[in-house]
Amino acid sequence: MTSRHTTTCENGIHRNNRTPASVNVTVTNDTTAPSVTVTSPAAGATVVGSVTLSATASDDVGVVGVRFALDGVNVGAEDTTAPYSVQWNSAAVANGAHVITAIARDASGNTQTAASASITVNNDTTAPNATVTSPADGSTVTGSIALTATASDNVAVAGVQFTLDGINLGAEHAAPPYQMTWNSSTVANGVHVIAVVARDAAGNSRIAASVGVTVNNDTTAPTVAMTTPINGGVVAGAVVLDATASDTVGVAGVQFTLDGANIGWERTSAPYTITWNSGSVANGTHVIAAIARDAAGNTQTAAGVTITVNNDLTAPSVALTSPAAAAVVAGSITLTAEASDNVGIVGVQFAVDGVNLGAEVTTAAYERAWDSRTAVNGTHVLSVVARDAAGNQRTVTATIVVANLP
């Protein structure tokens, strides 16, 4: 079967007379707004610092975003995923009553504003008060001194920081008493400024009225000089060491040294002198010095004095010349001895059986009279001790026989 179509031509335009098939469609628009509720903070709450604003939202199709507002002004960006929240710094607004709300939006552009929540912002905006209590303004300080301060706040003081010339001194003090020890010798002499910075938990801070002090530490060492013995001197036995010392403030002590080692204890008052036994060291060259110290700890060492120690270390020679060893004696006899020394004999002591016969004989000839009748007949020991000025001694003995008639 052949199908035919009829066309007509009007004014050169061909037209098809077929009627097009119709299409049925159903249009369903989303006209339902989401539901939304502010869940935090609660209505009537008092807030401080950083606050989390949160809300719940639902929709018959789907929620595409929730935006928070404070007093009608948007807070941050729209949150497009649950849970719906944003962080808000309540310190960005004045203390007092404010209104928080949330606006939910669906894909069709329908929006719903949650019932508003009235809150009270009560941030601490009052800085603490602080005062430096020591040292006093205009005072002169030396050495280690105590720094003290007081601080108070309408809520609570979180910390107090001491400063010197605007630079922190040590760590912040988190609790009273607010005090520390400062060594003023760590800075140059002159005017310096001490202050404290008090801080509360909200971050408010206040600098106390500064205190100006004058640091006047003693930085000048004493002067000191050895006066005795003289440089190049030769010494023996007990030697007097003497020094002079002075200071701009005051000498606290003078310490004598031998070859760099202390001799005895420090002398804390003038005259600065000690007696030293040169026999405690070997003969030869030695260096004696003195170190002066002031109360601030400044020290000065005197130019050393080089001396030569020449102590007599050689004992005398001595011999008992009469009576001879093993002699037999009776009645009164004279005991005689000969003694010599490289320097000089200062004394010869005679003794019988260890008991001295009279005093030491100090000049030659060295002799002593002895009545043998004061001893019982029999064997006895005579001894002679020769001594020099250095204290060196030598002893000789001889055994004799006393034979007095009855």
Give the mean pLDDT per block of 10 residues along the chain (406 residues). Answer: 41 52 76 96 95 96 96 95 96 96 96 96 95 97 96 96 97 97 96 97 92 96 98 95 97 98 97 96 97 96 97 96 97 97 96 97 97 97 96 97 95
Cα gap 320→353, rounded to integer Å = 15
Whole-structure pTM over 0.85, yes or no? no
Kindly report the CATH class assigned to 129-215.
mainly beta
pLDDT of residue 18: 60
CATH number given to 317-402: 2.60.40.10
Q: Evaluate whether 153 touches 198 at the Cβ level (below 8 Å).
A: yes
pLDDT of residue 16: 52
pLDDT of residue 9: 39
Residue 71, token pair as written in the block:
């007093």
| Ranges assigned E (strand) in 125-250 | 129-134, 140-141, 144-152, 157-164, 167-168, 178-183, 190-200, 205-207, 211-215, 223-228, 234-235, 238-246
Domain with CATH 2.60.40.10 in the chain: 35-121, 129-215, 223-309, 317-402
Provide the 3-class DSSP secondary structure of residue 54. strand
Architecture of the domain delimited by 35-121: Sandwich (2.60)
Cα gap 47→41, rounded to integer Å = 8
- Looking at the DSSP bridge assignments, the partners of residue 232 are none
pLDDT of residue 17: 55
Q: Which residues of 47-75 are buried (b: 16+ CB within 10 A; e: fewer)?
A: beeebebbbbbebeeebbbbbbbbeeeeb
* Nearest residue to 194 via CA among 280, 135, 236: 135
Q: What angle do CA 373, 379, 384 make, to 5 degrees?
A: 85
Beta strand pairing status for 46-47 and 178-183? Answer: unpaired
Beta strand pairing status for 251-258 and 261-262? Answer: antiparallel
pLDDT of residue 197: 98
Q: Per CATH, is 223-309 categorized as 2.60.40.10?
A: yes
Cα gap 384→339, rounded to integer Å = 10
